[in-house]
Amino acid sequence: MTAIGFVLNGREVVATAPPRRRLAAVLRDEFGLTGTKIGCDAGDCGACTVLLDGAPVCACLTALGQVEGRAVATVEGLAASALAPLQRAFLRHGAAQCGICTPGMLMAAMALLARTPQPDEAAIADALGGVLCRCTGYRAIIAAVADAAATLPEEPPSGAAVGARVARRDGVEKVTGRERFGADALPAGPFLTLRAIRSPYPHARFTIGDLAPLFAAHPALVRVLTAADVPGSLCYGIYATGKDQPVLAEGQVRHRGEPVCALVGPAEALAAIAEAEVPITWDILPPVGFDDATATQPLHAHAPENILCRGRVRAGDPDAAPPAGAVRAGIAIETSFVEHAYIEPEAGYARRVGDRIEIVACTQTPYMDRDAIAGILGITPEQVRIVPTAVGGGFGGKLDLSVQPLIAVAAWLTGRPVRMVYSRSESMASTTKRHPARIRAEAVAGADGRLFSVRFHGDFNTGAYASWGPTVANRVPVHAAGPYAVPNVLCTSAAIHTTDPPAGAFRGFGVPQAAIAHEALMDALADRLGLDALEFRLRNALRPGSRTPTGQVLGADAALGACLEALRPRWRAWRDEAAAFNAARHRPVLRGVGIGCMWYGIGNTSLSNPSAMAIGLARTGRIVLFSGAVDIGQGSNTVLAQIAADALGAPLGQIDLVTGDTDRTRDAGKTSASRQTFVSGNAALRAALALRAEILRRANAGPAARIAFLPGALQVSDGGRTSTLALESLPADAEGMVLRGEGYFDPPTTPLDQDGQGIPYASFAFAAQIAEVAVDTALGTVTVRRIAAAHEVGRAINPTLVEGQIHGGIAQGLGLALMEEYVPGRTENLHDYLIPTIGDVPPIEVMLIEEADALGPFGAKGVGEPALVATAPAILNAIAAATGARITRVPATPERVLAAILAARDEGRA
């Protein structure tokens, strides 16, 4: 251990750590500067960017010994007194969503701005190209860096919060590095670390040998956990019928990366243990692949033929003979595993407090975690406290348990706090993915240009365990005919077990895969009918009064038509421009414009998914929203506060938030299915209205009264009469609240019958997007040049946040279309698994269509998943428009695109 002196954010410091230690670890562990994030420890993500003598470097690749005598600047140094202009710009433009990439982005941008105060977009992209962001789609970041003199957005006056572009409530924490993510939260005092030993094989039986030599060689090792140590139920899962995933494998592993035992001890002791020292004997079994799973020995007793479940929607007569002059199109589509690739690997700690367990970790669903951990430990849910940290990106991936079961068992059994931080490769190998799909679909349209029938079947590789597989199987058939009025429909699905990693929840739950198929069919039918692809969709669009394939009649907010009409001018102009470009023969590059449409049911499919919210008034006159909804970067903390403020008639700045903690909030349900704005927004609205009613009752005032929130008192004015309500004298509850309002909302749905008939969702979102691509027809590379996105959002509570969701969804849709393909064992890092960089996401024009939802809070509905669904279809249709080549396997890698172009040439299509 040497003493290494350097200058850290302008102060001379001395680190006493081995010189070989990574600077990122030293900054975090020795100096407590957790603003420097670790997303990969491999130079692939840039989250750890710091300035070394003014130049950006990856702190994860910098040896402590190399910074001796040099100057290191971290995000914590940016805002010594007030926010730096760039930090303000990030807040104004919504450039920080989850915020995990923000410190790296800020530091890389600071170095650029020091050199080039007014950089153009190319310079910004070059400077930030080494930092990955999974949330924002980068466009807001580019805007912020180009506008580094920005001021903070103004706080709206009382009653005008809804619709205002206010900065996110948790934004200052995110741009200063103060936000605490899973790996930033540490137990007070000493703690143990947990290291999982994972299967290197997709399918094997194993035995664990005598552990005595391991303990003898490593006396500091505290405990080795195996399946036998789990005190309650070994297996957990999302659905009551799908509790099939073991905390630790019991004699058999079903996917690569499955944990088989867990080492618990001090971090240094664990690091000294070589994997080979853990005595595991493997008996390798043949893997069960997607191709042959249904013909293989079942992996689970509950899934004969390895079929976890099926979904089905049938309407009209799908076998009816088509009318004379009808045209028909068919397609077969194959998609890949897609990794969430949030920049924050899963992390957290657990500690036992008497007969209770407390878990501080990143999660999208604290209340489901609470109940699951109770089952695993064999205790009651009340004995479990979940305290969510900030979430550095979720997208569905943090709806499943990750570190929680292991650290809970370890802390429960040892009585000591236990912490676990996934490495990037561990996160990628062991956590859920988007389901690979194999889809066959066929559609028929009459000579009048109206859809007559759609048939669709999708097989979804749900991997080793059930996870959210049933959700996908149920949601897909409802949506698979697309956002169109189709009288005759048969849409079916199956979720199939394999020895691949469990496929779970990922933004869209199978609908993005299905949309690739139905949008390819729409283009093919329009082409055969000689109709414009947009006008054909418009003619068939679901509209107010339309009946969906499940028999649901849509309300006035079914505004796909308005989305298409909004896009029409761009559609025509872009197509003309692409045609002119192609006519000018810039071979081998060809341009094309494509369109994609989508619809998406908000909330759970035909299942109750309530949210409860509480709002309190403190003696100080401050208002506290107790929200069990986790903000995973999408902005629910801000949106719910905006809704509550206007419902209450309070200034937004008056509202404080308590979020997530299951001891202090109500169950708001999971952050998933685009439901928090719609469902929890309604609960927050109702809670705020209840509090308002209580205030007005006490003031004996009418419903139109105005409330002024003063320190320690309320002033209620009703007409000419003003009364003052002193708060000091009122009795306060355990949380310090003197008045409370409670709100509850469960979207009204009905079960689906065996033909899938019923009301699966209380609200649908609609969208259409167009994309222009340039295809290099000699190499097969595709560049997306621009995207226009028209989204029907009911009401944009915060347009900046809505646009942020759309940008981020588009970036993920672009990745799905062009580059993302997770291959177990081959792409377990962020340089072999590619997500879009700042140079891959084109300019995006967002058009918000606000057609108030009858049930939504202030008319709002969800946008989180709808943002992603239409993008890949638009891009793939654009490739086809440019080249005549139809891509049927995504991602459309250069190799696949070139092969499709060559095949189309052979067939004379191009």
Partner 1 sequence: MDAWLRPTSLADALAALAAAPRVILAGGTDLYPSHGTSSLPGSILDISALPGLRRIETHADHWRIPCLATWSDVIGAELPASFDGLRAAARQIGGVQVQNAATVIGNVCNASPAADGIPNLLALDATVELASLAGTRHLALADFVLGNRRTARRPDELAVALRIPRPAGPARGVFEKLGARRYLVISITMVAAVAEYDAAGRVRRARIAVGACGPRAVRLPGLEAALEGRQPEADLVTPHLAPLAPIDDVRASAEYRLRATAELLRRALDALGTPRARAA
Segment interacting with ligand FES (CB under 6 A) among 109-117, 129-137, 513-521, 767-775: 129-137
134 binds, among partner 1, ligand FES, none (CB under 5 to 8 A by kind): ligand FES
The amino acid that residue 564 corresponds to is L
98 binds ligand FES (CB under 6 A): yes
* Cβ atoms 506, 338 nearer than 8 A: yes
391 binds ligand FES (CB under 6 A): no
828 binds, among partner 1, ligand FES, none (CB under 5 to 8 A by kind): none
| Residue tagged 């348990």 (tokens) | 401
In sequence order, what are the beta bridge partners of 445? 327, 451
393 binds, among partner 1, ligand FES, none (CB under 5 to 8 A by kind): ligand FES
> And the tokens for 738?
């003197």
CA distances from 692 to 628, 644, 648, 712 (A): 21, 10, 5, 17
In sequence order, what are the beta bridge partners of 205? 252, 283
Q: Give me the 616-655 binding string for partner 1, x by CB under 8 A, dash otherwise.
A: ----------------------------------------
* Cβ atoms 497, 300 nearer than 8 A: yes
838 binds partner 1 (CB under 8 A): yes
44 binds ligand FES (CB under 6 A): yes
- CA–CA dist 310, 242 (Å, integer): 14
- CA–CA dist 639, 629 (Å, integer): 11
Segment interacting with ligand FES (CB under 6 A) among 64-72, 127-135, 503-511, 880-888: 127-135
The least distance separating partner 1 from the CB of residue 891, rounded to whole angstroms, comes to 8
The least distance separating ligand FES from the CB of residue 426, rounded to whole angstroms, comes to 14
The least distance separating partner 1 from the CB of residue 534, rounded to whole angstroms, comes to 29
Positive or negative torsion for Cα 620, 625, 631, 636:
negative
The only residue of 79, 303, 343, 445 in contact with ligand FES, by rule CB under 6 A? 343
The only residue of 556, 693, 778, 854 in contact with partner 1, by rule CB under 8 A? 778
Taking the least distance from each CB to partner 1, the nearer of 127 and 441 is 127
Say how many residues make up the chain: 910
582 binds, among partner 1, ligand FES, none (CB under 5 to 8 A by kind): none
96 binds ligand FES (CB under 6 A): yes
- CA–CA dist 27, 477 (Å, integer): 50
- CA–CA dist 211, 221 (Å, integer): 11
46 binds ligand FES (CB under 6 A): yes
The least distance separating partner 1 from the CB of residue 384, rounded to whole angstroms, comes to 29
260 binds ligand FES (CB under 6 A): no
- CA–CA dist 441, 523 (Å, integer): 13
Instruction: Return the SS3 of 728.
Output: coil
65 binds partner 1 (CB under 8 A): yes
- CA–CA dist 705, 720 (Å, integer): 10
The least distance separating ligand FES from the CB of residue 770, rounded to whole angstroms, comes to 26
Touching ligand FES, residues 619-638 (CB under 6 A): 633
Segment interacting with ligand FES (CB under 6 A) among 91-99, 357-365, 443-451, 594-602: 91-99
The only residue of 23, 91, 124, 133 in contact with ligand FES, by rule CB under 6 A? 133
Taking the least distance from each CB to partner 1, the nearer of 271 and 704 is 271
- CA–CA dist 414, 223 (Å, integer): 8
Touching partner 1, residues 22-51 (CB under 8 A): 22, 41-44, 46, 49
Q: Give me the 345-384 binding string for ligand FES, x by CB under 6 A, dash otherwise.
A: ----------------------------------------
* Cβ atoms 686, 855 nearer than 8 A: no
- Angle (CA) 340-346-352 rounded to 5° is 150
585 binds partner 1 (CB under 8 A): no
Q: How many CB atoms lie within 10 A of CB 33?
A: 22
Touching partner 1, residues 214-273 (CB under 8 A): 271
39 binds ligand FES (CB under 6 A): yes
Touching ligand FES, residues 51-90 (CB under 6 A): 58, 60
Taking the least distance from each CB to ligand FES, the nearer of 40 and 578 is 40
DSSP 498: -
- CA–CA dist 798, 165 (Å, integer): 5
In sequence order, what are the beta bridge partners of 889? 334
| Kind of pairing between the strands at 437-445 and 451-463 | antiparallel
Positive or negative torsion for Cα 197, 201, 203, 205:
negative
Segment interacting with partner 1 (CB under 8 A) among 29-37, 298-306, 611-619, 826-834: 826-834
Taking the least distance from each CB to ligand FES, the nearer of 56 and 375 is 56
Element housing 49 (H / E):
strand 49-52
In sequence order, what are the beta bridge partners of 73? 51
Per residue in 637-666, is it b (16+ CB within 10 Å) or e — as a string?
A: bbbbbbbbbbbbbbbbbbbebebbbbebbb
The amino acid that residue 616 corresponds to is G
- CA–CA dist 454, 598 (Å, integer): 15
826 binds partner 1 (CB under 8 A): yes
> And the tokens for 776?
């290099």
47 binds ligand FES (CB under 6 A): yes
Taking the least distance from each CB to ligand FES, the nearer of 44 and 850 is 44
> And the tokens for 831?
């340089």
* Contacts with 430 (C-beta within 8 Å, 6 or more apart), sequence order: 196, 198, 257, 258, 259, 402, 422, 501
134 binds ligand FES (CB under 6 A): yes
- CA–CA dist 587, 511 (Å, integer): 36
108 binds partner 1 (CB under 8 A): yes
The only residue of 135, 408, 437, 876 in contact with ligand FES, by rule CB under 6 A? 135
The least distance separating partner 1 from the CB of residue 148, rounded to whole angstroms, comes to 18
125 binds partner 1 (CB under 8 A): yes
The least distance separating partner 1 from the CB of residue 265, rounded to whole angstroms, comes to 15
Q: Which of 327, 775, 332 is nearest to 527 (CA)?
A: 327
Taking the least distance from each CB to partner 1, the nearer of 336 and 769 is 336
Taking the least distance from each CB to partner 1, the nearer of 153 and 501 is 501
- Angle (CA) 815-600-661 rounded to 5° is 85
Residue 538 has phi, psi (to 5 degrees) of: -60, -40
Touching partner 1, residues 409-428 (CB under 8 A): 423-425
Segment interacting with partner 1 (CB under 8 A) among 235-243, 575-583, 685-693, 818-826: 818-826
Touching partner 1, residues 732-771 (CB under 8 A): none
The least distance separating partner 1 from the CB of residue 65, rounded to whole angstroms, comes to 6
- CA–CA dist 484, 708 (Å, integer): 49
> And the tokens for 153?
């957005």
- CA–CA dist 260, 249 (Å, integer): 5
511 binds, among ligand FES, partner 1, none (CB under 5 to 8 A by kind): none
Segment interacting with ligand FES (CB under 6 A) among 34-42, 532-540, 711-719, 890-898: 34-42
DSSP symbols for 361-419: E--S-HHHHHHHHHHHHTS-GGGEEEEE-B-S--TTGGGS-SSHHHHHHHHHHHSS-EE
The least distance separating partner 1 from the CB of residue 267, rounded to whole angstroms, comes to 11
Contact residues: ligand FES, CB under 6 A: 38-41, 43-48, 58, 60, 96-101, 133-136, 343, 393, 633
Contact residues: partner 1, CB under 8 A: 2, 18-22, 41-44, 46, 49, 52, 55-58, 60-63, 65-66, 68, 108, 111, 125-132, 271, 423-425, 778-781, 818-819, 821, 823, 826-827, 831-832, 834, 836-840, 893-895, 898-899
